[in-house]
Every structure is written in structure tokens, then in C-alpha cells.
Amino acid sequence: MKVAFAKSDLPKSGTVAVAVSDGRKLGPSAEALDRRAKGAIARAIAASRFKGGSDDLLTLLTPSGIELDRLVLYGVGKPAKLDPLALQSIGGRIAATLGGSGAETASVMVDALDGAKMSASKMAVEIGYGALLRSYRFDKYRTKEKPEAKPTLKKLALLTDGAAQAGKAFERREAVAAGVFFTRDLVSEPANVIYPESLAREAKKLTAQGVRVEVLGEKEMAKLGMGSLLGVGQGSERESQLAVMVWNGAGDMKKHPPLAFVGKGVTFDTGGISIKPAAGMEDMKWDMAGAGAVIGAMKALALRKARANVVGIVGLVENMPSGTAQRPGDVVKSMSGQTIEVINTDAEGRLVLADALWYCQDRFKPTAMIDLATLTGAIMISLGTEQAGLFSNNEDLAAALQKAGAAVGEKLWRMPLGEAYDKMINSDIADMKNVGGRWGGSITAAQFLQRFVNGLPWAHLDIAGMAWSDKDAPTVPKGATAFGVRLLDRLVADGYEKG
């Protein structure tokens, strides 16, 4: 769907959406239309349950005196409480409603509202952004879908004062949305399409946006001593990969060390020899969502020409059972030199990240590292599907991540780390084991990762509950969410860009 901005003239035809605030107070455009309709709009509202709340939408048959095809009233609630997230949600609801209306084009009137803290043009940008995010649809494999089941909306025009400024400001939102959509595509693809080598090829496409990309294969990783990562993929016919993406937006990396993102990319996770139950295993195609978020974030930063140095590293493996698969009880040696007793082959993501984290800090000397991973089911027991778990060894980094997450609606909840938890992963025969027992599973997983962070500011985001949604949300349709892309982009914008 294309989002455009134009001057705030009421259209004389087509589909139009107008604002109504809390208490059924008509906005300026709605009032103008109501005068043409001789009060029919106000009467229709009075006869409905529509109150003008920010969750409310009402589609009306076009009243006499108005030559529009369709009129949609969107609630904005109390104007004083409108903020970017609320406006994005409004935009998402408008897009969802109009997408199934049969209209190919539609206009949204965005007026200055009494009491609102934002100008009309700034509100239009956020409404348009929310509409764009909600318009995403992964339908490439639907070959027999009926036309009436497909969304029809192709263009949404935001009509407002200051349309030119709004259009310019929206360019940055479009860049981030492109990163979000790229991630959603990658995470939605089945595992016979996205596997380590093909996902590495997708990462290589970022060279078109100016990102420097290199891919290490198994021979290169073996020379580096990445026994932890390679052990996970040894049961698969697919070769494991490590993709390295570098965005050089702030000049000399020695003078301006980069921020680093590290992603878990298990393109399919059977659990290995510690095989998962069959029920729901198809969902394990999105066990690479952390890597997908890193790739999407790198695309967003490059498209908007972020003035920051950022490195993205993703460890890409397929965890399969076979005659060559890693066994419970095996001991592997990581790139750091530390040895790991593999108690459970289904606790594989941390083994991938161990070598990716060490490689990242050893090669790039970043100012901080943030890893994203669908790491544990235990985090979903703790936080459900409302927030991701945040673990960190640095208070400033943790606070910056929580602030960025709150700003974009990707919430993080700080979880503990500590010596008592760390002792739970001590092994009798190696430096550590890859699981710590039944209790505190997400915490012991984070403690495992911390052993591969050599004193650097670091944060681990366990996004297992957030990578995929079974229901629609205002700006996130059912399916792959791309959780983390907007968060990482905002973190860079708030604290790591020059000038």
C-alpha cells in the first residue's frame, strides 16, 4: 500500500475517513460534512455505540447531501492524550477497515484538534505510519484465494495542513517499515525456502543499500575454532553460515567504534537428538527471528542513512537429528576456548550465540553488544506474549533499550542476573553445561551467554514470546511481527548517531 500526503481539501468523491474525539465531538472535517448532510452524521452517531474513543471506528452509508462513496468515522479519544503510538494504532485500524472495504484508494482527513499536543501534519505522519505497518500481508503462496478475500486498498492519502513537511518526515518511517517488512518476509518463509545459505544470501542483498556484507562458511568458522556454533548444525545437510553486516555511517570505525547487534538464526529447530514434540513443530521455522530482526534493522538503518557505525552478525544453522547430529553429553570447544557440555541439544541457540558474540567483540571491539534470540520457552512462562525479556550487565544500556522499546511499542521487562544463577550451569566435566535445570531457564540461558561477553556492555533480548503473533494487533497483522527492528532503530537514533 502506498501512503501519500496532500493538502487538506475535503474530497467530493471516493472513500473518506474523518476524526471524532471523545464524547462524540466532531472534528473540523467531520463538522463540515455534517453541515452538508444537514446533521445526518451526528444523528447516525447518536443512534450507534460509537463514542469517539481511540479504539472506535464507524462506517456510515453516505448521507444525503454528500457525494462520497463511503464515510468512515475514526475515534481519537481525548486529543490531549494523543501520542505517536496512539496515532499509529488509529492508522492501523483505519487501514484494516478500509483494506476490506473494496476501495482501492481512500483519504484520511487529519485536522488540528483542540487540546492536542501535536500539529496536524505530525499526527498525519504517525497515522500514515501505523496504516503502512498494518498493511503488510504475506500471501505469496496463496494461489486460490478468492478476490473478495484479498485487501483492495492500494493508496491511502493523508490530507492535512503542512502536507509537504509531513511527506518529508514520512520518508524515515518508510525506511523503517521497509526493514520491518523485510524481517516479516524472512520469518514468514518456510524452512525449505529459508535455510542458512539462503538466509545469508538475503543478508547479502543489503549491499544494494550500501551495507558491507561477508559470509563465513563452515571451513572459515572451523579455522576460527567455532566448535560451539558448528556443533549445532552438524546433523543437517545444510551448511552453517555466519553473516557479517557492516553499516559505516559515522566514519572511521577505529575513532568511532560500532554498536553491534547479534542474532540467533536457527532456520529450523527440531530440537536435534533431544527432539521436540510433533505438535507445533512447524512453528520452529521462526526460530531465526532474532537474526531476521538484525537483518531488517540493518536494512532500515541503511535506507535512512543513519549517521552511526553499526555491525550486525547472525549465526545461521539448522538443528536436525541424523547420524551425524550432536549428542547429549558431547563436549564442544567454543571460539573463546571455553568448553561446553551439551546436556540438551534443544538448548542450541545459546551455543550459536556463544561463538557469534565472541567473534563480534574479538573482531570489531564494539561499544556495546545486543543479542536478540527466540531463546527460551521459559521467558514465555514469565512474561507471556506481552513483553520480551531483557538481561544486561550495564544499567545505562538496559535503560536505553527500555526507553527505546517503550517509544515504539516493543516493550522489554528487565530480568535478573547473578552469581547463584551462574553456578547452575557449572559442569562436572567441562567449563560449563548448556542448561541449568528446570528452574529459571531464561535466566540461566542469559548467564550462559554472559560467559562469552568479555566485560563489554551487553544486553540479551529473549524475544521467544514476541516473534510471532496468533492474532491481529493495530499495527502488526497476525504472523511474523518483526519485533526488534523498530526498537533497534530507535536505540540508534536516540543514542548512537553523530550530529
Contact between 479 and 468 (Cβ < 8 Å): yes
Q: Is the separation of the CB atoms in 290 and 317 below 8 Å? A: no
Please tell me whether residue 412 adopts helix, strand or coil conformation.
strand
Q: Which one, of 102, 289, 96, 256, lies nearest residue 187 by Cα?
A: 289
In the residue annotation, 276 being an active-site residue is answered as yes
Spatial distance between the Cα atoms of 204 and 215, rounded to a whole number of angstroms? 8
Active-site option among 350, 433, 451, 486: 350
Mention every residue, 6+ apart, whose C-beta is less than 8 A from residue 237. 320
Tell me the three cell numbers of residue 57: 471506528
Given 51, 70, 137, 276, the catalytic residue? 276
> What is the four-CA torsion angle of 468, 470, 471, 472, rounded to 10 degrees?
30
Q: Which residue has the cell 550487565?
A: 393
Report the interhelical angle of 289-303 vs 196-204 (nearest 10°): 10
Buried b (16+ CB within 10 A) or exposed e, 421-432: bbebbeeeebbb
Q: Which SS3 state, helix, strand or coil, does residue 121 take? A: helix
Among the listed residues 272, 285, 277, the one whose alpha carbon sits nearest the alpha carbon of residue 325: 272
**19 CB contacts (<8 Å, ≥6 apart)?**
27, 29, 30, 73, 74, 75, 76, 109, 110, 111, 113
350 catalytic? Reply is: yes
Q: List, by residue number, the catalytic residues.
A: 276, 350
